[in-house]
Amino acid sequence: MQDGLASAAFEKLSGAEGEADDLSQGAQKAEAPNALRHVASLSMTKIADGLIDPKLMLSWLLTSLGAPAVFAGVLVPIRESGALLPQMLMASWVQSMPRRKWVWVLGSAGQGIFAALIVLAALTLDGAAAGYAICAALGGLALSRAACSVSYKDILGKTVGQSRRGAITGLAGSVSAVGVVILAVLLMSGLFEDRRIVIAAIALAAGLWGAAALLFSTLKEMKSDPSKGEGADFGILKKDANLRRFILVRGLLASTALAPPYFVVLAGGEDQSALGQLGALVLASALASFLSSYIWGRLSDRSSRKVLMLTGCVGAVAMLGAVALSMLGLAMQIWAMPLVLFILMIAYHGVRQGRSTYLVDMSPENQRSAYAAVSNTVIGVLLLVAGVAGGGVALIGPTATLVLFALMAIGAAAAAIGLREVEAAD
């Protein structure tokens, strides 16, 4: 009875018809309940991500604890590069394991533990000591996140069939967005004047990561043959021209992630707190995720290449729209920046869905972890370079920077035309 309900729910959510030919017989039988476990686990971890967002929650917390501003400035680089750069070293370890779900379980539990350490630091320390402790814990959290990232695409490819993976991950994005919307509303309500509310939110994130680890441990994953994995090295880039082009597209589409702060700058904000501005950013992102992630996922199952093309164009329109509003003197109107920021966030969430689905579907069965690790390592280096150069680029002004980012997004859409179509034809 339970299997029948799981199958019905899975078919309704993913549009799946029949069994997945790219899965083993055992994986086909377990696909529906596994897919629901993916949705629930990812929803919990994505909500946790929003509750501990370095750009918002942790930076505000450090400020309230009296930590020097330099600590808030390094939070995002620690989180992003720390989650991407170690993946090359982890990929061989993942491929040596018959069941890769345990790497994800360990990574999710680790994020919960390090989030709890952040709570402990916030309750017992202040000033520079709190800054050092929280940044160190965030580094551990990022390392744990890397374990989840490098293993997940392999696990997803083994447990959910092609043409429905995007729907599953997209649904998780939309479900989790509801929780982040609540966070954003509370943030803008002024309730965050009390530090204990922020600490409680981070404690909740720790619990969600722990619960996700427990649930994911019940995933029914078929054994892999470790001897078939080739390991992760940059030689893959020499062999696979399509992977090189994909990394180029993904790198150019990073402009959709780098642009939002410049929208806030154009909106002004001298009469608003920085926390209120960030709250509006979180709300726009969460609403965009809620409304678009599932749709982007379903579209990615049809053609993730076309999703990457479309998101590049939509992102460029949003960025150029922000520039136009600024030139017309409308940027500080109450409706202006939230509108174009919402459009940009729709593009951003489409980029996330498209790139994830494309990488899983393009990768050889026994090299998904290797392809993910190589791609993420290259992108991690590019993000580090972008972070270092960010201060210099900002000197040309927000509008000129957004024009540059828009050109990058257009370039990504053009480059994506040459990507190989990897989804099976209907």
Query: pLDDT tens digits, residue range 179-196?
Result: 888 877 877 776 666 678
Cα separation, 375 vs 234, in Å, equals 9
**pLDDT for the residue numbered 148:** 94
**pLDDT for the residue numbered 22:** 66
Q: Which tokens in the block code for residue 40?
A: 């629930």
Name which residue leads in pLDDT, 206 or 222.
206
Which of 202, 169, 162, 133 has its CA nearest to residue 297? 169
Name which residue leads in pLDDT, 296 or 274.
296
**pLDDT for the residue numbered 270:** 41
Model confidence pTM above 0.75:
no
Cα separation, 402 vs 391, in Å, equals 14
Q: Which tokens in the block code for residue 33?
A: 């309940």
Whether the predicted pLDDT of 198 surpasses 90: no
Q: Which tokens in the block code for residue 26?
A: 């055992």
- Write the burial class of residue 302 (CB in 10 Å: 0-12 exposed, 13-18 middle, 19+ buried): middle
Q: H helices within 328-397, ranges in order? A: 336-362, 368-394
Q: Are 14 and 164 in contact (CB under 8 A)?
A: yes
124-128, 208-212, 410-414: the lowest-pLDDT one: 124-128
Confidence class for position 398, pLDDT limits 50, 70, 90: confident
Q: Are 75 and 58 in contact (CB under 8 A)?
A: yes
Confidence class for position 277, pLDDT limits 50, 70, 90: low
**Cα end-to-end distance, the chain, whole Å:** 31
**pLDDT for the residue numbered 424:** 62
**pLDDT for the residue numbered 426:** 43
Cα separation, 104 vs 154, in Å, equals 10
Cα separation, 409 vs 387, in Å, equals 18
Q: Are 201 and 183 in contact (CB under 8 A)?
A: yes
323-327, long-range: CB < 8 A, 24+ apart:
323/399, 323/402, 323/403, 323/406, 325/266, 326/266, 326/398, 326/399, 327/399
Cα separation, 66 vs 71, in Å, equals 10
Report, as an integer, the average pLDDT of 313-335.
90
Confidence class for position 247, pLDDT limits 50, 70, 90: very high
Whether the predicted pLDDT of 272 surpasses 70: no
27-31, 125-129, 212-216: the lowest-pLDDT one: 27-31
Whether the predicted pLDDT of 362 surpasses 80: yes
Whether the predicted pLDDT of 394 surpasses 60: no
CATH architecture under which domain 26-416 falls: Up-down Bundle (1.20)
Confidence class for position 55, pLDDT limits 50, 70, 90: low
Name which residue leads in pLDDT, 14 or 10.
10
**pLDDT for the residue numbered 56:** 65
Contacts of residue 328, Cβ cutoff 8 Å, sequence gap at least 6: none
Q: Are 35 and 168 in contact (CB under 8 A)?
A: yes
Whether the predicted pLDDT of 116 surpasses 90: yes
> Is the four-CA dihedral 121, 106, 40, 177 of positive or negative sign?
positive
Return mean pLDDT, the chain: 83
Report, as an integer, the average pLDDT of 13-21.
66
Cα separation, 16 vs 22, in Å, equals 13
